[in-house]
Structure 1
Amino acid sequence: MSSSGSKADPAVLRCQRRCNGDRKNYEALCQMYEKIQPLLENLHRNFIETRNNIAYDIQKLYDKDPLGNVLIDKKKLEKILLLSYVCNTQAEYQQGFHEMVMLFQLMVEHDHETFWLFQFFLQKTEHSCVINIGVGKNLDVLNNLINFLDPMFAEHLKEKGAGAVQSLFPWFCLCFQHAFKSFDDVWRLWEVLLSGKPCRNFQVLVAYSLLQMVRERVLQESMTGDDILLACNNLIDLDADELISAACLVYAELIQKDVSCPDYLFLSHYRISFSEETHETDTLNGQDEGGSSVE
């Protein structure tokens, strides 16, 4: 996945303006962390293990571009991840956070901006990328969505692809970071997720749209679980706008079926008026007024 190296991405700028924290708050947290670090090392049984895991994950990152220019500061990245682990009790460190925070570090200049952007992202997306909070729920809703919209595919997954959907948890843990061809595409999707529109749990519609890309091949070749997972993992270098548009079409289909939509699908809990839906989906798809999409 390539990076444009841009420091003025509109998604980043919008996040920065919304962040509640500032440099002084960040510095206060750093001072607090330095004071309690000895206690954490002696009394917190998971602290040293987590610190070692963070250091190990960071060392595996490529920190230079093809010309040898240093892209990321691994020491600062480790510090931010440790501070987040200590301060954000809802989101313990998990493998993949180092890649997400690396992306924030690439897009902004200062450590406090990187830290607060990560916290803002977790909060705004309702910790949907956190394994012990949102990932399991995402997978459950994804299964329900397949059963509701595509019974034939659901039946195949049940008979021959047992466990395939549950194995797609990295999509949610990394917020689909590995599926795109550039950091700009990652940010395009993340910007939509941060907006909360067209609905909460939009990441599930994105995952469903990705599965639809391999659906025909899976059925034609009667693929089993491992082959389905391999086909899904081979979905790379995608265009974010095309994927967002596909997910919006899924949402439009759900709106059409809303009368019969069962309670276990998230849509029934987040109804919006149709007049608002049309305008907002056109915005997500980059369309002018008069588009035919539903939000």
Structure 2
Amino acid sequence: MLPYVAYKYVKNKREATRREMETTLDSLTSHLSRSMIPDQVVLRISGVSAKFAEDSEEYVSGTLTIVEKAVGVFIEWFPCEDHNARYAPDTSGWVLAEDGGETQTLHSPSGSPDRTSGDHMNKLAFSIDVNDLSSFRNVEPKKGQGYPCIRLICKDGTSYVPLYFTTESTVNFIDVLQRYITLRRSAREPNLVLVVDGKAEALAQSVIALGQNDDVLSRFMKNPYAAALTGFGKITSFMQEQMIPALLDSDEVSQEEQIRAMRELSQREDDAAKLRINTDATSEFELVTQLELPPRPDIYRESPVTQEIWDKFKMPDGTVDPQNIHHLKMNVFRGGLNPDLRKEAWKYLLGYRAWDETNAQFEKKRSKLAKEYERLKAQWISITEDQESRFFSYSKRKGLVEKDVARTDRSMPFFSGDENPNLAMLQNILMTYVMYNFDLGYVQGMSDFASPLIYVMGNEVDAFWCFVELMKKIQRNFEKDQAAIKLQMYQLRDLVMIVNPQLANYLGKFFFSLGFLEGHQSDDMYFCFRWVLVWFKRELSFADTCKLWEVLWTGQPCPNFLLLVCVAILDSQMNTIIDNKFGLTEILKHVNDLSMHLVLDDVMTAAEAIFHQLSASQDKLPAHICEYLNLGEAAS
């Protein structure tokens, strides 16, 4: 006979085993039952198109469905089976699956399938659980000016390809979607539709009805990502090859690694100027004093400067009258340059050719610089493998160059193919710059600046010396202490505080909750690191990159116009970030997903409008803001 205690132990153990077996059996039964339930397509819309590439007007037609599956409800889009079906969006109607109507697929002209394009189109396909959906943008264009568009945004910050509908399609998609989730249009941005948690909404209304401080609710419903992120440890060392790759290569480095780099950077001693902000000593978060700014003016982009217009500013000997330089730069700022003019104009804008330099003087200088280039190039070409094995600093720089050359702009025909001579030109220029400026050497990201110069100039000598002049403007971005980048992050943070204090406060509160060091007010701007480091090269098409850079090279209307471009983009994304309650991981994802989805002309007009808005308020602005923008007495 078992003692009572032993009896209870054995009995409890048997009960636990029995319950475990019952739970396992129930789980298996439930799984088998679910697996036997067929998928039910609730809505099918044909002719819903996605752009084949962001910088083209070529579309891929596909089918959008809402599907009830055993594991949940999913929104799915797949391209049509014919991988050659690329055209403008289809205008066929929508059909509910219950109607049993057959949908028709349009086909492109006959031709053999392109495996590469087919693979790319398959990558556009997606399947999203509706419970993972955070919001979506629903843009209804003016009549006759395009197609309605929806872009889905998930809770983790991922944005999917925009989908272009026929006129009557979006309404029915949204109606069916509302069977499964609660939707609410953003109060701040009409085009943004939010997915609402019904229970959370009810709780919020209850708290408001009780007159409670909404801080209680915000703490109670705190973003679960914050707790996880605060556990990241310090990185033991911080160097160029750690931080820059982490924040530059978003496709190759996880968000966690990017966050680690940001945290480490915030912990390092910085010599950059501190922000001058108003703080409330009774609050754990910084508060921004909001200025009353005038409305932003309407700004329009102008036509690009043509060869004919350019020549009107030049004298017959190639010089430009000093009194006309500002006017010429403003023309470039407002419209950019015709592509066929860039080879000549970029030399002036970069300082490779002086504005007061005659044709004869420039040719004489160019001849001398060509010899200097060949001398520098010969220095590294003559290094033998045996010498290189004992020359670690050189070998390390060479390895970095070769790694970047192999992946810079390879999707462009100009740089595609393993035996492409333009790749050799890129390698030659970067290696020669290593010898020209060995102290700096080579840092990842420099190849992003060199490739457009090679494309435009078409020869090594001019491209190299233009690269030298460009590096004089941006060299400090690549220095080891990263002081220049930190300073620009401080300045960007300052500008956001003035232009959009609501967004500044949101970012400040969230980053404080993540444990970033107090007093590092630039911390919440490091998700813009890539924008500033390579001047939006990774965010824009090659053509748009050239257009933006030549605008920035004018130095108009202020030297820090790049930061105003950043502010304009952040300002446009405020509602998406705040209404979706994005945390750091989601913000990083969302910012990275903006790549190749920015409309450059809209961004530049918004940035210029912000400049004029601030310029009109310079008597109210803090002195350091005026200094950033070269306004008033700060400019003298």
Give the TM-score, by structure 2 length.
Answer: 0.38
* CA distance in structure 2 between the aligned counterparts of 1:248 and 1:177, rounded to whole angstroms: 20
For residues 17-76 of structure 1, give each alpha carbon's deviation from its aligned partner in whole angstroms, at most 9, with x where no partner exists: 441554233223323455678999477643211211111122234546579965662222
After TM superposition, give the deviation of residue 119 of structure 1 in Å: 1.6
- Structure with bigger gyration radius: 2
Among 615, 621, 624, the residue aligned to 1:255: 615
* Conserved? CA contact 1:193–1:203, under 8 Å: yes
- C-alpha change, 1:51 and 1:248, in structure 2 (3 Å) is same
Q: Do residues 25 (structure 1) and 372 (structure 2) align?
A: yes
Q: Name the CA distance, whole Å, in 2 between partners of 1:93 and 1:165.
A: 25
CA-CA distance at 1:167 after TM superposition: 2.8
Whole-Å separation in 2 of the counterparts to 1:120 and 1:68: 23
Establish whether residue 60 from structure 1 lines up as the match of residue 404 from structure 2.
no
Q: CA deviation at 1:200?
A: 0.7
Question: For the aligned residues, what is the CA RMSD?
Answer: 3.3
**Aligned residue in 2 for 1:241:** 601
Q: 1:128 to 1:152 in 2, by over 3 A?
A: farther
In structure 2, C-alpha distance between the alignment counterparts of 1:72 and 1:92, rounded to whole Å: 23
User: What's 1:195 paired with?
Assistant: 554
* In structure 2, distance between residues paired with 1:247 and 1:187: 17
1:149 maps to 499
| Unmatched tracts of structure 1, length 5 or more | 274-295
Distance 1:25 1:57 in 2: 25
In 1, distance between residues paired with 2:505 and 2:401?
40
Other structure's SS at 1:160 match: helix
Amino acid in the other structure paired with 1:175: W
Give, in whole Å, the separation in 1 of the partners of 2:372 and 2:383. 17
Return the alpha-carbon distance in structure 1 between the equivalents of residues 391 and 470 of structure 2: 27
Aligned residue-pair number:
269
Supply the AA of the counterpart residue of 1:218. I
- Bigger relative contact order, structure 1 or 2, given CA contacts below 8 A and separation 6+? 1
Deviation at 1:206, TM superposition (A): 0.8
Structure 1 residues 140-180: Cα deviation after superposition (integer angstroms, max 9, x where no partner): 11011112222211111011246441132111111101222
In the superposition, relative to structure 1, how do residues 68 and 240 fare at CA in structure 2: closer, same or farther (>3 Å)? closer
Q: Deviations 1:85-129 (Å, cap 9, x if unpaired)?
A: 231357542212122212222222111121112122223x35464
Question: 2:437 aligns to what?
Answer: 88
1:292 alignment partner in structure 2: none
Counterparts of 1:104-123 in structure 2, within 5 Å, are: 104-123=453-472
TM-score between both structures, scaled by the size of structure 1: 0.78
Q: Which has the higher strand share?
A: 2
Alignment of 1:1-295 (within 5 A): 8-17=339-348, 18-20=351-353, 22-34=369-381, 41=388, 45-61=392-408, 63=410, 65=412, 70=417, 73-88=422-437, 91-123=440-472, 125-127=473-475, 129-130=477-478, 132=482, 134-161=484-511, 163-180=523-540, 182-235=541-594, 236-265=596-625, 267=627, 270-271=630-631
Residues 65 and 194 of structure 1: is their aligned pair in 2 closer, same or farther, counting only changes over 3 Å?
A: closer
The aligned amino acid for 1:25 is E
Relative to structure 1, the CA distance from residue 84 to residue 244 in structure 2 (aligned partners, 3 Å threshold; closer, same or farther) is same
8 A contact 2:618–2:631 mirrored in 1:
no
Q: Percent identity at matched positions?
A: 20
CA distance in 1, matches of 2:386, 2:414: 43
Deviates further, 95-104 or 17-26: 17-26
Contact 2:452 2:546 in 1 (8 A): no
Output one character per residue of 1:174-216: Cα deviation in whole Å (capped at 9) or x when no partner: 1101222x32211111011111110011111111111112111
List alignment gaps of at least 5 residues for structure 2.
1-53, 57-337, 354-365, 515-522
